[in-house]
Amino acid sequence: MVPNIPTLKTLVYPKSLKDSPVFYLYPMSSAYERELKGILEGDEQVLSKVTHSCSVTEKENYHRILTKPFIVVRAAGSLGVDLVALRGDISFLIEVKSSLEPTLHFSSVEGKLQRQAENMRHGCEKTKTLPVYAFRYKGFRGDMWRLFTFDLPILEGRAQILNRHLPKLAKSKQGNYVMRWEDGLPCSEFVSYLCR
């Protein structure tokens, strides 16, 4: 029997230790994937936990998912996809990221995140599927999640409308993706938009 060995999701190099040879490895945690899954499925226990430090408006927006929940399936993640959200009117692929820092550089982890993102983009272009990046800022009080996507003009229907509404991943001068938490769409607004 093969033991369950956590895989490495991100390689974090704290700014405070920039000149230190020490790297901090954070094992891939499924906790945040389960949290986002619970939000989109309208799990009241998860919603209560996620919104305990949110504003009244954010709480109301989050709870709108109770009227139009998704079926959410956890994926293997090998193609840069952690979750698949399914509903009659809209479906999309989600890659979940989390960090103690507000900016995530895809050039880190020897370019693995960049390659993963390019694979996800290519697959979504080929199948005309909406890709969503969900970024959870650890330790933040309030709405901790921010949502992003790629610019994909090839999408059609509701997927195209939602793609236009979501902020796009930025790129560095070197052409690598950069995800800045403050530039993302708050998850409470994303949920509210999905449930209009």
Quickly count: other Cβ atoms within 10 Å of residue 101's Cβ.
Answer: 13
For residue 9, is pLDDT > 70? Answer: no
In whole angstroms, what is the distance from residue 87 CA to residue 110 CA?
36
pLDDT score at 110: 84
For residue 25, is pLDDT > 90? Answer: no
In order, the DSSP letters of 99-166 are ESSSEEETTTGGGHHHHHHHHHHHHHHHHT-EEEEEEEETT-SS--EEEEB---TT--HHHHHHHHHS
* Residue 97, in any domain of the structure: yes
pLDDT digits (tens, 9 = 90+) for 37-52: 999 999 999 999 999 9
* Residue 113, in any domain of the structure: yes
* Domain containing residue 150: 32-194
* Residue 17, in any domain of the structure: no
pLDDT digits (tens, 9 = 90+) for 92-110: 999 999 999 999 999 987 8
* Residue 8, in any domain of the structure: no
Contacts of residue 163, defined as CB under 8 A and 6 or more positions apart, other chains included, come to 130, 149, 151, 152, 155
* Residue 185, in any domain of the structure: yes
For residue 57, is pLDDT > 90? Answer: yes
* Residue 147, in any domain of the structure: yes
The predicted model scores a pTM of 0.83
For residue 22, is pLDDT > 70? Answer: no
pLDDT score at 78: 59
In whole angstroms, what is the distance from residue 104 CA to residue 107 CA?
9
* Residue 2, in any domain of the structure: no
For residue 69, is pLDDT > 90? Answer: yes
Q: How far is CA 59 from the centre of its chain?
A: 19
Q: What are the phi and psi torsion angles at 168 (to 5°)?
A: -95, 150
Average pLDDT over all residues of the chain: 87
pLDDT score at 111: 87
* Residue 26, in any domain of the structure: no
For residue 157, is pLDDT > 60? Answer: yes
CATH number at residue 38: 3.40.1350.10
In percent, the amount of the chain with pLDDT more than 70 equals 83
pLDDT score at 3: 47
Out of 8-17, 86-95, 103-112, pick the least confident. 8-17
What's the number of domains the chain is made of? Answer: 1
Segment of 17-21, 104-108, 184-188 carrying the highest mean pLDDT: 184-188
